[in-house]
Amino acid sequence: MARLVSFNNVTLDGCFADRDGGIQWTVRSRSDPEFDAFVEENARTGGRLVFGRITYELMASYWPTPIASREDPAVAERMNAMPKVVFSRTLTRVSWSNTTLERADLEATVRRMKNDGGPDVAILGSGSVVSQLARAGLIDEFQIVVNPVILGAGRPLFDGITKPLPLELVKSRAFANGNVLLCYSPSPR
């Protein structure tokens, strides 16, 4: 069975996007080779990617570009090569390589992806997708990079969660740029 992992950046106050939906705050001016190597390794080990429409459009506007290939060649190569699924009711077509547009029921489709014996599945960004799949108990691990910034307002990562979801810390790692990786698995119910 494939594992489903959610990978997101959040601010210290729990936002994964600013008031306007932007994530520019994730780009640090302070270089950190260890964090860069972690990002590259994560990209290298991924299997299939899942996005909601907004994150898909953001990613598709950057990773296939010459700028991405120049600034982050290893990650760009992997992001462009990986199979991707975007869930959307409004998109009519997708143009990013290896992307499938999915209009079917999110939970049922992801459940099938987990059971099909294929590679692991990662959700990047896509807050509404994360919230829906977390409520359904389908996410096996939450990988959250806490960035040392406070926005004061923005979109919370787990918007729409109405019942507590107990988690267990399975790994943590601090980086020189101030980012902290926290990995949680759902607690046994």
Q: What is the pLDDT of residues 85-109, one digit of tens each?
A: 999 999 999 999 999 999 989 999 9
Task: Tell me whether residue 29 is exposed, middle or buried, using C-beta atoms within 10 angstroms of its C-beta: 0 to 12, 13 to 18, 19 or more.
Answer: exposed
Residue 179 lies in a domain: no
Question: Any idea what the CATH number is for the domain that residue 56 is in?
Answer: 3.40.430.10
Domain interval for residue 126: 4-174
pTM as predicted: 0.91
Residue 14 lies in a domain: yes
pLDDT tens digit string along 120-178? 999 988 989 999 999 999 999 999 999 999 999 999 989 889 999 999 999 999 999 99
- Positive or negative, the Cα torsion across 76, 81, 83, 87? positive
- Asked whether the beta carbons of 16 and 157 are under 8 A apart, the reply is yes
- Give the strand pairing for 141-147 and 4-11: parallel
Residue 97 lies in a domain: yes
Sheet holding 84-87, edge to edge: 99-102, 84-87, 48-52, 121-124, 4-11, 141-147, 180-186, 167-174
Q: Domains in the chain: how many in total?
A: 1
